[in-house]
């Protein structure tokens, strides 16, 4: 069955790039509604932005979506990952600014709020995006591809010059509570040089050591260090899940990323949907539905995150 929230939840945070306070409210929605953002601070034109891959208009440092009226919502990927990882298919999200709040730089606060509110079933089947043929995009050393698989897997490799990050690899089956346990608490990261550059061009005004991991010449500047030894590659997997959620349906296939990011994942979805023979939508039977992200998940799964 499709799902939605059992009740609404609200939270307040800071926009990573704008540095402005943001109020967010997530509300239940009916079957077939999908994930929809509403800019509650805009009243003079269409303020509804559907969370879809073809609404993405910028992928520099985050994922930004927009409607035809030019209304935008940026930094949607961590919330989208939380919704996908918790198996929430339909929700209306109101924000009173141009960004989803960054919280601690991970998805864990969103997951906590979703599971506290509760997830309920709706009287409609879940459509699943099944990958039938490999689809791949390459840009220099960066690669992103989707491959046929009997489950939804994310396989990621990162390579950074800074020895604090270096080369990290991880592969994870996303069924059930894997996202909450293994990825949801992993924070966005960057080098100090990246922070300096972003601030020169007017971005990352709300960034600090409480919502991002910052490294510099082999040192982790955050006093607490990494939450996990491979937190960086896990965060990239979190981002990939959030960006893939813009397909509008759970994926049945294997995502493989090498040095990939928001842009590559969005290009991959665009290529996939331009290749009709590479996919099909199927209705999930009970056996498949039980293996989708979020099935059987409870708030106790968050206690297993370290």
33 included as an active-site residue? no
Higher-pLDDT residue of 258, 210: 258
pLDDT value, residue 100: 97
Q: What is the mean pLDDT of residues 89-117?
A: 96
What is d(CA 288, CA 126) in angstroms, rounded to the nearest whole number? 10
| End-to-end alpha carbon distance in the chain | 31
Best CA proximity match to 180, nearest among 34, 74, 304, 64:
304
* Residue pLDDT, tens place only, 49-102: 999 999 999 998 899 999 999 999 999 999 999 999 999 999 999 999 999 999
Residue 264 pLDDT greater than 60, yes or no? yes
Q: What is the mean pLDDT of residues 229-253?
A: 97
What is d(CA 270, CA 186) in angstroms, rounded to the nearest whole number? 27
Strands (E), 61-183: 64-66, 72-74, 91-95, 119-121, 127-131, 135-139, 142-147, 153-159, 167-173
pLDDT value, residue 25: 98
pLDDT value, residue 155: 98
pLDDT value, residue 305: 59
Q: For the chain, what percent of residues have pLDDT higher than 70? A: 98
Residue 262 pLDDT greater than 70, yes or no? yes
The reply to whether 127-303 shares the fold of 3-121 is no
* Residue pLDDT, tens place only, 151-180: 999 999 999 999 999 999 999 999 878 999
What is the three-class DSSP state of 228? coil
Burial of residue 222 (CB within 10 Å: 0-12, 13-18, 19+) is middle
Q: How far is CA 146 from CA 4, 54, 89, 131, 262, in A?
A: 27, 18, 21, 7, 15
The token duo for 70 is 């030019």
Residue 304 pLDDT greater than 80, yes or no? no
Residue 247 pLDDT greater than 80, yes or no? yes
pLDDT value, residue 204: 65
Does residue 291 contact residue 74 with C-beta atoms inside 8 Å?
no
pLDDT value, residue 288: 93
CATH superfamily of 3-121: lpxc deacetylase, domain 1 (3.30.230.20)
* Residue pLDDT, tens place only, 197-212: 777 777 766 778 888 9
Residue boundaries of the structural domains of the chain: 3-121, 127-303
Q: Which residues contact 90 (CB under 8 A, 6 or more apart)?
A: 2, 3, 4, 28, 29, 30, 31, 32, 33, 34, 35, 122
Q: What's the topology of domain 127-303?
A: lpxc deacetylase, domain 1 (3.30.1700)
Element (H, E) at 108: helix 108-117
CA 218, chain centre distance (Å): 27
Residue 178: phi and psi, rounded to 5, are: -55, -45
> What rounded mean pLDDT belongs to the chain?
94
Residue 306 pLDDT greater than 60, yes or no? no
The token duo for 136 is 């791949």
């Amino acid at each position: 069955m499709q799902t939605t929230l059992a009740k609404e939840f609200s939270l307040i945070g800071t926009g990573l790039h704008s540095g402005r306070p943001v109020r967010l409210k997530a509300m239940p929605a009916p079957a077939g509604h999908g994930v929809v953002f509403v800019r509650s601070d805009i009243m003079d034109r269409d303020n509804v932005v559907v969370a879809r891959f073809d609404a993405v208009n910028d992928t520099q440092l985050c994922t930004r979506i927009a409607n035809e009226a030019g209304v935008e919502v940026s930094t949607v990927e961590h919330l989208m990952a939380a919704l996908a990882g918790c198996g929430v298919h339909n929700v209306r999200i109101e924000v009173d600014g141009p960004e989803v709040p960054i919280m601690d730089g991970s998805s864990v606060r969103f997951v906590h709020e979703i599971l506290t509110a509760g997830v309920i079933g709706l009287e409609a089947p879940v459509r699943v995006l099944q990958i039938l043929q490999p689809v791949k995009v390459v840009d220099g050393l960066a690669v992103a591809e989707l491959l046929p698989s009997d489950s939804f897997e994310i396989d990621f490799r990162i390579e950074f010059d800074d020895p604090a990050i270096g080369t990290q690899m991880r592969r994870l089956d996303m069924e059930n509570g894997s996202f909450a346990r293994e990825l949801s608490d992993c924070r966005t990261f960057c080098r100090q040089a990246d922070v300096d550059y972003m601030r020169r061009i007017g971005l990352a005004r709300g960034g600090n050591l409480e919502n991002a991991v910052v490294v510099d010449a082999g040192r982790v500047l955050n006093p607490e260090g990494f939450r996990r030894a491979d937190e960086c590659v896990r965060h990239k997997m979190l981002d990939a899940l959030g960006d893939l959620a813009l397909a509008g349906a759970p994926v049945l296939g294997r995502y493989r990323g090498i040095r990939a990011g928001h842009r590559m994942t969005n290009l991959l979805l665009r290529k996939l949907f331009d290749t009709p023979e590479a996919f099909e939508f199927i209705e999930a039977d009970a056996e498949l539905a039980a293996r989708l992200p979020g099935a059987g998940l409870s708030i106790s799964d968050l206690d297993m995150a370290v």
